[in-house]
Amino acid sequence: MTDAVDLRGVVKRYGTVTALHGVTLSIADNEFFTLLGPSGCGKTTLLRLIAGFEDISEGEIRLFGHDIARLEPNQRPVNTVFQNYALFPHMSVLDNVAFGLKMKGVDPAARRARAGRMLEMVHLSAFAERLPAQLSGGQQQRVALARALAPEPKVLLLDEPLSALDLKLRQAMRVELKQLQEETGITFIFVTHDQEEALTMSDRIAVMSAGRVQQIGTAREIYEAPVNRFVADFIGETNLLEVEVASVSDGRATVILPGGARITCPSSSMTGGRHHLSIRPERLTISDRAELMANVERVVYLGTDLQVIAHLDGGQPITLRLQNAARTSLPEPGQRIGLHLEEGGARLLAD
Amino acid sequence: MKGVRHYPGFLALTILCLAVLYAPLIVVAIYSFNASTSITSWGGFSLRWYGEVFTGREAARFGQAAWNSITIALIASTVATVIATAAALAMVRGGAFRGRQASFALINLPLMVPEIVIAVATLIFFSAIGLTMGYLTILLAHITFCIPFAYLPIAARLEGIEATYEQAARDLYATRAQAFRLILLPLMMPGIVSGWLLAFIISLDDFIITNFVKGAGMETLPTAIFGSVKQGIKPNIMALSTLMLLVSVLFVTAAYLINRKGRQTP
Ligand SMILES: Nc1ncnc2c1ncn2[C@@H]1O[C@H](COP(=O)(O)OP(=O)(O)OP(=O)(O)O)[C@@H](O)[C@H]1O
Ligand SMILES: [Mg+2]
C-alpha cells in the first residue's frame, strides 16, 4: 500500500537559515501522525511545505505516490487547520465551512447541505449564521476543523490547533479530534510542542529538534526506548546520568556510575566509554533490594504522586516518582534510602 | 507618572492652539449667515449669501468650477486609489524585492516635498512634453499627488490583515485570483474606501498645484474662490467656503468611521 505522505531528504532554507536539514519520513494512510518538538524546530515549516505555502529547497514530497512538490496549494488534496484558525472574518460560519466546496465547484444546495452536516459533526449547527468574531475560541477552533474537513481532503494538517484553548477544553478536544480522525478515516498530521497531547492521541510520533527528525515511533517506543539524549530528555521526565560502560555482552551492558555502583541495562550497539544513562523517575522504587544508595533532599507532594529529590552517593541528583498510596510512608529529608531499578527502567543513550 | 495635562501652561497652550486653528473657520461659518453686506459687523441672521452662491452674479462661474472640481476629484481619487491599492499590495505582500525602500520613498515623496516645488516642476514638465494646460493637466497632476493619500490608509489596513487568510483560501482550493477577490479585497475594503475619500477631499481642496497647471479660463472651486477674493471678500465667498468645509468634514468623518469600523472586525 502506498503511503499517504512520503518525504525524502526534504531541506528547507530561508536565505542563510536552514529550517529543515533533510527530513525523511513516511506517513501511512489513515494514520494519526504527530510532529513533536520544541519551538523553532521546524514543525510549522514542514506543514507549510506539505500544504504548498512554501517551496522545498531540496528533496521530494509525495502524496499517495504522486510528486506534489511543484503543485500550488489549491491543487493539493490537503487541507490545513491553522494555529490562529484564519476563519474568514467577513463570512458567516456556514459560508466559511462551505468555502472549499464552493471553490471546488460543488453546487450551492449540495454544499450548504454538506457544510450543515459538518457543523452538526462539530456540534455547532446553532451557530451557522454567526460571524466568526461572535464565537468563543473553542467554537472557532471547531469551525476551522469543520472547514478543513468539509472538502474531504486526503490529508489534514493541524498546526497546534489546541494551544489557544484552556486545559479542560483542550483535553475534551483531544478525545474529539481522535474520534473525528477515526470516523473520517482521513490521515491527520498534527503539530504540537505538548508531549502529553502527542502521547495521548497519536498512532506515531516524529520527535523533531533543530530541523531534524530525531526519532519516529509509537508513543510507547519513544517514551520507553528513546534513541538519544534529546528524545529521552524531551519526552517525559528523566534522570540523565553520565556513566562508564564497563562491558557489553548479549545485548546487555554493565555500566559504572561515578559513585562506583554498577548496574546492567539493555544496550543495542554501544561500545565502551562514557555515555549517558536515562532512568525514568517512576521506574525507581525505595527498596531493600537496592542497586543504588541515595540521600533524600526534598519531597514534593504532587497529589496523585510524590516526587522525591535525592543525591546519589556519587553526588548526582536523582528524582523518583512514587504513587501516593495510603500505605506509603514518606521518606524524610536527610534520610538514606536504597533505590531499586525496575527491569528495563534504564537505557543507555547515544548522544 | 504624571500625565501631560499636569505640565504648567498646558491648558493655556492648548486653548491658544485650538483658537488659532479654528477661530477663523468659526468666524467664516458664522458670518456666512450675516444679513449685512459687511464682513465685519453683524446685521442679523440670513441665508441670502447662500442664495447668492447659487443664483447670484457669479453663480454660473462657481457652478462650472464646482463641476470641474467634482469630476476631477472623482476621477483622480478613483484612479489614484486603484494605483495605490496595487502599490500597497506590492509593498506589503510582495515580500522583499530590490528597490523596496526606494519604492516606499517614491510613493510618499509628494507628502514631504513642498507643494510649490511640485507645482512648478509639474508645470515645467507638462510644458516640456507639449501638453496644453487645461482640464487634462489638472487631472493628471491630481492623480499623482492623490496617490500617497490613498496609499497610507490602504497600506495600513493591509498590514493588519494576516497572510494566513489568503493562505487558508488557497488551501481551500481558491486560485490566486479567487483568493484576492473573495478574501483579500473585501478585507481591504475599509482601507480602500477611506483612502478614496481622503484622496477625493485632497483633490477637491487643492489650490497651489491646480493654479499652476490649470491654464487660462479653466477654474476649479478653490481657484475660482481665489479669483473672486482678489476683487475683495464678499460674504457669498464665506457661504461657499462654509459649504466646502462642510463637505470636507463629512468626507473626513466618513473616512475615519469606516476605518474604525473596519478595525473592529479585522
Ligand atoms: N519565513 C521565514 N524566514 C526565515 N526564517 C524562518 C521563516 N520561517 C521560519 N523560519 C525559521 O525556521 C525555523 C523553524 O521555524 P518553524 O516556524 O517551523 O518552527 P516551529 O517548530 O513551528 O516552532 P513553534 O513551535 O514556535 O511554532 C525557525 O528557526 C525560524 O526562525
Ligand atoms: Mg509553529
d(CA B104, CA B116): 22
Q: Over the range A292-304, which residues count as b (16 or more CB within 10 Å of their CB) and which as e?
A: bbbebeebeeeee
Q: B228 Cβ partners below 8 Å, 6+ apart?
A: B58, B61, B234, B237
- Ligand 1, atom 19, lies closest to the CA of A40
Chain B residue nearest residue A133, CA to CA: B265
d(CA B105, CA B174): 34
Q: What is the pLDDT along chain B (266 residues), one digit of tens a residue?
A: 567 777 888 888 989 999 998 888 888 888 888 888 777 778 888 888 888 888 878 888 888 999 999 999 999 999 999 999 999 999 988 877 788 888 888 888 888 889 999 999 999 999 999 888 889 999 999 999 999 999 999 999 999 999 999 999 999 999 999 999 999 999 999 999 999 999 999 999 899 999 999 988 899 999 998 988 888 878 888 888 898 889 888 888 888 888 777 655 44
Residues with CB under 6 A from ligand 1: A 14, 17, 19, 37, 39-45, 193
The predicted structure's pLDDT at residue A37: 92
The predicted structure's pLDDT at residue A122: 86
A88 with B172: Cβ contact below 8 A: no
Global pTM?
0.81
Mutate to test the interface with A, among B165, B173, B175 (most CBs of A within 10 A): B173
Task: Tell me which residue has cell 453663480.
Answer: B59
| A contacts of B172 (beta carbons < 8 Å) | 74, 79, 99-100, 103, 147-148, 151
Q: Does A248 touch chain B (CB under 8 A)?
A: no
| CB nearest A100 (choices: B165, B172, B187) | B172
Residues pairing with A346 in the sheet? A279
| CB nearest A79 (choices: B162, B172, B266) | B172
The predicted structure's pLDDT at residue B237: 86
Span A326-344, pLDDT tens digits: 666 778 888 888 888 887 7
The predicted structure's pLDDT at residue B266: 43
A78 with B186: Cβ contact below 8 A: no
Q: How far is A172 from chain B (nearest CA, A)?
A: 25
* Dihedral angle sign, alpha carbons of residues A125, A126, A131, A134: negative
C-alpha cell at B20: 488659532
Span A244-270, pLDDT tens digits: 888 887 778 888 887 778 888 877 666
User: What are chain A's domains?
Assistant: 5-224 (3.40.50.300), 237-349 (2.40.50.140)
From the CB of residue A176, how many other CB atoms can be counted at a distance below 10 Å? 16
A147 with B172: Cβ contact below 8 A: yes
C-alpha cell at B79: 484612479
Are B32 and B239 a contacting pair, CB within 8 Å? Answer: yes
Residues pairing with A299 in the sheet? A308
Nearest to B210 by CA among B136, B264, B159, B149: B136
Ligand 2 centroid distance, CA of A20 (Å): 13
Ligand closest to Cα of A16 equals 1
| A contacts of B183 (beta carbons < 8 Å) | 88
A151 with B172: Cβ contact below 8 A: yes
- Ligand 1, atom 29, lies closest to the CA of A40
B265 with A104: Cβ contact below 8 A: no
| CB nearest A82 (choices: B168, B178, B266) | B168
What is the position in ligand 1's atom list of the atom closest to the CA of A41? Answer: 21
C-alpha cell at A322: 512514587
| B contacts of A52 (beta carbons < 8 Å) | 170-171
d(CA A56, CA B95): 18
Q: How far is B180 from chain A (nearest CA, A)?
A: 13
Ligand 2 centroid distance, CA of A159 (Å): 7
Span A92-103, pLDDT tens digits: 999 999 999 999
The predicted structure's pLDDT at residue B230: 86
Span A152-165, pLDDT tens digits: 999 999 999 888 78
